[in-house]
Structure formats: structure tokens, C-alpha cells
A and B are shown apart, each in its own frame.
Chain A
Amino acid sequence: MLRLRALLLLAAALWLVGCAAPQPVPRTYVVLLESPDGTTGRVVVSDAGGSRVLERAGQGTVIGDARGATFEVDDAQRQRDFGGAIGARPPVPEAVVLHFERSGVRLVPESQRRMVELAARIREWPAVELLIVGHTDTVGDGPFNERLGLARAQAVAAELASRGVSPLSLTIESRGERELLVNTPDETDEPRNRRVVVSIR
């Protein structure tokens, strides 16, 4: 009799434990992810539980929980809770560098090939905003290089347009020889400085 009662108690206790077992779904929580550039930064959560830092990708914490515990959020939960937000993420802005032949507006062959793929990608970019900035090396004087940088940027803009790119906004600028990528003395032929940077947002 006593043993039966003990058994029943044990069963009841197990049943209670079983009921409590499923983790409650966190109501308000944050999950750290790896950044698109491959690095992982940190977030600092401040709430009733004080302040705590998440610094590993996949690490989460409830916001407004006095215990301040952290936990792992797996792909399945991430997809279930955040599938919509993740799917709606616009492309992360990027910059592409194109290089030029000496003292002119002709792209080097490698950059010319790249142009085809670049134009295709920009066409797919939703409501794309473009900033095209031309640079030169230090061959020639300052005013000449201001004009050359602008001409290079305009040439890239024209080529993108001819390949069907029609951006929401387009800004064309020249830095001439004022922002060298590789520092050189004046009148130095430096292929890496002869460039146009296309910033895509």
C-alpha cells in the first residue's frame, strides 16, 4: 500500500516535470548573427535584468527578463520566427572598383569584363542608388586630373546606362589625384590609382 502510494507520487511528480519541460517560447528576444562581411560584432542588451553582451553568432537573450540568461537559437527557430524579415532584407550595399588604362577613359580588359557582370547585378538591385567616383594617378597636373577623374566616372555611368541600368538616383564625382589609393610622388604612373569606385546602395 505504502509502495503503491509512493509510486503514484512519483508518477505525479514525473507528470508535473513533463508538463513543465517544454521551454516557453521567448516573447521579446534578440539574436546575434554573423554580419554579411563575415565578422561578428556585439550587441549590448540593457533591461530590468541589468546589462549583458551577446558576442557569439546564434546567441540570444530575452529582453526584459530579470534573470538575464542567454541561450542558443537554432536555424529552425530563426526561420520560424524571422523568416519574413530575413526574406525581405535588401541587398547589403557594396562598392566595386574598376581600373583604367593610362591617361584616358578606357577600362583595363579585366575591368571591362567585370562591367558586364556588374551591370547585370545592378539591374537586379531594388531601387538602386549609385555613387560613381573617379580617381587618377599623379601623372599630369591637378586640374587636368580633376577633369580626367570626372570623365572616367561619366564613362562608367554611360556604359552602365547603355547596359540598361536606370538607378533611382545617380551621383557622379571626381576626386582627381586628391585621394590616392597608393601614395606616390607627383608624376607617377600607378595603375592602382587609376580607378572608378561604384558604390551601390
Chain B
Amino acid sequence: MPARRIFRLPRLLAAAGFLLLLAPLSGRIAAQEANAPIGHVKTVSGEAWVGPRGAAPEARPGMPVHVGAVMRTGRTGTLGVTLKDNTVMSFGPDTEVVVDDYLFDPGQGGLKLAASITRGTMNFVSGLIAKLRPDAQSVRTPTGTIGVRGTQFLVKVDDPAQTTE
């Protein structure tokens, strides 16, 4: 069997080559995971944007959401997103929310969701992260932090710029 001989002869070389081949590949896989979406836009009405601050395109259903992306709605807009762990977040008009930190890797014990809302309104339904690790979810507001222990809640943050008092 000539095919078998090929494998037997330069085994060391083949192993080295395999490692060389693997090295850049594993790097690429890691990079892909870092860039992998953490969820998707599901509902949009009116003006809404999702993406990097200052360069966020208009949101549409199916658009991926990444860690650090700014989710924003205009005066008449609403937006709903669902994350990989089944966390469901939706926003009323004039809202701005960022998912600052997100880990969902139950096999490795990586479980975390940290979001911040700087203005507007949000309906939050916790998902598997809260079920698996009850203290791993938090939502920051300008005046305090909400620790989420597996539930649904509403939060409203007034835009300081629009305060008339």
C-alpha cells in the first residue's frame, strides 16, 4: 500500500507541518469567537440603530449584535433583541443601551452579562445565564445598578439633558 508508506516515512515532518498548519488556524478561530455575535435583532419599528458608537447602521430584523455595540432608538423608534442565552431585551423610544460584557459558555463555566442603559426604557427578560448563575447578570444605570436574579423587569432612565426641573 503506497499510501500507508507515505504516512509512515515522514511522520515527524508531517507532525511539524500539521502543527504549523494548525497555529494560524487556531488563531483565526479565537478571533472569530471574539467577533461572534452575542445575539440578533428581532423587532424594529421607527428609527433604531445597532452597531459601533457613531457608526451604527439602521437596525433591521436578523442583524447581529456584538459585545460593545450601541443599541439606540430615536423619538419614535422601538427595538427588540434576543441574545444567545435567551435573554430578551426590548427598548422604547429615545433609549440607549450597551452590552458591555457577555460570556455564555456553560461548558467552561463562563457566564456573564453586564449591560448599561444611559437613557430611555427597557423590558428585560433574563435567560439561561441567570438560571445557571443567579448573580451573573447586572444592568447599570447612571444612578445605580440592578442585579438580576432570574426574572423580568422594566427600567426607565430619564435623559439628564431633557430634565426640566
Contacts and interface: CB of A to CB of B under 8 A. Distances in A.
A190 B136 CA distance: 38
6 smallest CB-CB distances across A and B, nearest first, come from A64-B143, A47-B144, A41-B151, A84-B92, A90-B42, A88-B78
A46 B149 CA distance: 13
Given A81-B121, A90-B43, A127-B41, 12 more contacts: A27-B156, A28-B144, A28-B157, A28-B158, A32-B153, A35-B125, A41-B152, A43-B146, A45-B147, A48-B144, A89-B90, A127-B62
B153 A45 contact: no
Interface residues of A, number: 43
A86 B123 contact: yes
Nearest to A125: B42
B40 A129 contact: yes
Interface in B79-129: 79-82, 86, 88, 90-93, 95, 121-123, 125-127
B80 to A, nearest CB: 4
Nearest to A73: B154
B151 to A, nearest CB: 3
A41 B45 contact: no
Contact of A89 (B62, B80, B146, B151): B80
B163 A88 contact: no
A30 B143 CA distance: 12
Interface string A16-50: 00000000001111111111100111111111100
Contact of A126 (B61, B78, B153): B61
Contact of A83 (B45, B81, B92): B92
Contacts, number: 154
A87 interface: yes
A81 B157 CA distance: 10
A185 interface: no
A78 interface: yes
A175 interface: no
Interface string A64-104: 10000000000000100111111111111100000000000
B61 A127 contact: yes
Contact of A33 (B127, B143, B151): B151
B142 interface: yes
Contacts of B123: 82, 85-86, 88-89
B142 A28 contact: yes
